[in-house]
Amino acid sequence: MIRGSMVALITPYNDDGSVNLRRQAELIEWHIQNGTDSILILGTTAETPALTAAEQEDIVRVSIDAAKGRKPVIVGSGSNNSLAAKEKSLKFQSMGADGLLVITPYYNKTNKAGMIHHFRAVADAVDIPVYIYNVPGRTGCAITYEALEELSKHPKIAGIKEASGDISFVTKISRLINDDFNIYSGNDDMIVPLMSMGGEGVVSVLANILPAETHEMTMAYINGETEKAAALQKKYLDFINALFIETNPIPVKEAMNLAGLDVGGFRLPLCPMENRTREVLKSSMQDLGII
């Protein structure tokens, strides 16, 4: 069971727009040294839709090599094409992934039965844990409690990254938690509230720039220091909100560059922040002493 802070890692680029694989490896080493508990690559924050299949495989290879088994590496292998998701999942498993993050089938917007068959197609094919990714604000579709209840019984489906922002839904699905299935916050502003319902941690954008602090927050809650965890959640709340003032991962990459972490720019259709929102981001970073 993965616990604590899982960074939803950005993808660094060179000045010419190519993937900076050297920096990718350096960031993973930096996360390991700063307490990040596990690493997610090829998620939303990685700008995965803008990466070619070859680039995705390069990122997986370099990331797994850099981690050297010291921390679990979870790989986003989802698609709205169930066959493609299955094929990607098998490929990344063969490359050494420790687990897979599979998103709900966006755009197609299937019914309950199709949703269940989509995740089963992957889980039945692989030998490593599968984590469901529910983020209706991105996909236009949400997994239902009834579908998740059925999928949670699958021996290969180990949990859900819950990013709906709906605390009522979190409360409801928390009833599905057991030794083989757990929930992880997909929203940095809800880490402690979700963990209070039994969740094991967060898949975090915040951890890209504050890895030690995000780890500390989750571990404080796990270790029973609930008041400390809540205080840390409140301390970083304004900065968390600033990280989502524009579409993720635009603000977090801007913040990382402002902090000297040198991750490069974006791929269209993502582009640099507007001056107004950049100033809000900078102010929140100055308040915390990040810059």
Q: Which of 88, 161, 236, 253 is catalytic?
A: 161
Q: Which of 86, 88, 131, 133 is catalytic?
A: 133
Catalytic-residue membership of 161: yes
> Do 56 and 44 form a contact (C-beta atoms < 8 A)?
no
Phi/psi at 75 (nearest 5 deg)? -120, 130
Active site members: 133, 161
